């Protein structure tokens, strides 16, 4: 009779599935959230990528400024880039978002096609306390008489990491 071997196999399969789910849950807690926006003007285009993640636990923000071809792909070296990140925190009672911290305007020091600015808030508590945060990324490149600018919100992310599991 094969019944004696079927139950241990089923238990092994169930245990394995539970282990995979548990590991997937751990991986999900260390993720980052980002969005990309492309702005076009004639033969020029510009992308901004805004990201927020756990970093060292208190949060990490990053904005990448890229000058690209009119199809929003490839790369074009331009005279200078400009970028800025604003870290927004959600008011839990109203649902509105307000600026918690900002990089201020940062300019590239030499011609390039890409520029990244970032900040790791370290370990401990996020800069404006526990809650949901998102990065408002702004960046552009010089087209001679003006900047071609793209702005984008990263999407919301709980900080510190325990905020997403409600076990702080």
pLDDT digits (tens, 9 = 90+) for 123-144: 989 999 999 999 999 999 988 8
Would you state the pLDDT for residue 44? Answer: 86
pTM over 0.85: no
**Side-chain half-sphere exposure of 50, counting CA atoms within 13 A:** 26
Q: Indicate whether 29 pLDDT > 50.
A: no
Would you state the pLDDT for residue 5? Answer: 54
Nearest to 75 by CA among 112, 107, 117, 106: 112
Q: Indicate whether 26 pLDDT > 50.
A: no
How many angstroms separate the Cα of 57 from the Cα of each of 4, 13, 152, 159?
A: 48, 34, 23, 7
Would you state the pLDDT for residue 28? Answer: 38
* Structure-token pair, residue 128: 């404006």
**Measured CA angle at 64 (ends 63, 67), to 5 deg:** 145
Dist. CA 104–CA 117, nearest whole Å: 11
> Is the previous residue joined to 67 through a cis bond, with omega within 30 degrees of 0?
no
Q: What is the dihedral of CA 68, 149, 43, 117, to 10 degrees?
A: -20
How many helices and strands (H and E) does the chain possess?
Answer: 1, 10
């Amino acid at each position: 009779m094969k019944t004696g071997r079927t139950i241990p196999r089923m238990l092994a399969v169930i245990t394995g599935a539970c282990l995979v789910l548990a590991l997937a849950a751990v991986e999900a807690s260390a993720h980052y959230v980002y969005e990309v926006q492309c702005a076009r003007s004639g033969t020029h285009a510009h992308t901004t990528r805004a990201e927020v993640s756990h970093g060292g636990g208190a949060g990490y923000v990053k904005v990448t400024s890229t000058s690209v071809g009119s199809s929003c792909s490839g790369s074009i070296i331009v005279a200078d880039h400009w970028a800025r990140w604003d870290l927004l925190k959600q008011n839990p009672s109203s649902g509105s978002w307000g600026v918690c911290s900002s990089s201020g305007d940062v300019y590239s020091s030499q011609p390039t096609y890409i520029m990244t600015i970032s900040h790791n808030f370290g370990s401990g508590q996020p800069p404006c306390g526990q809650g949901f945060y998102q990065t408002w990324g702004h960046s552009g490149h010089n087209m001679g008489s003006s900047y071609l600018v793209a702005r984008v919100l990263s999407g919301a992310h709980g900080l510190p990491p325990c905020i997403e599991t409600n076990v702080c």
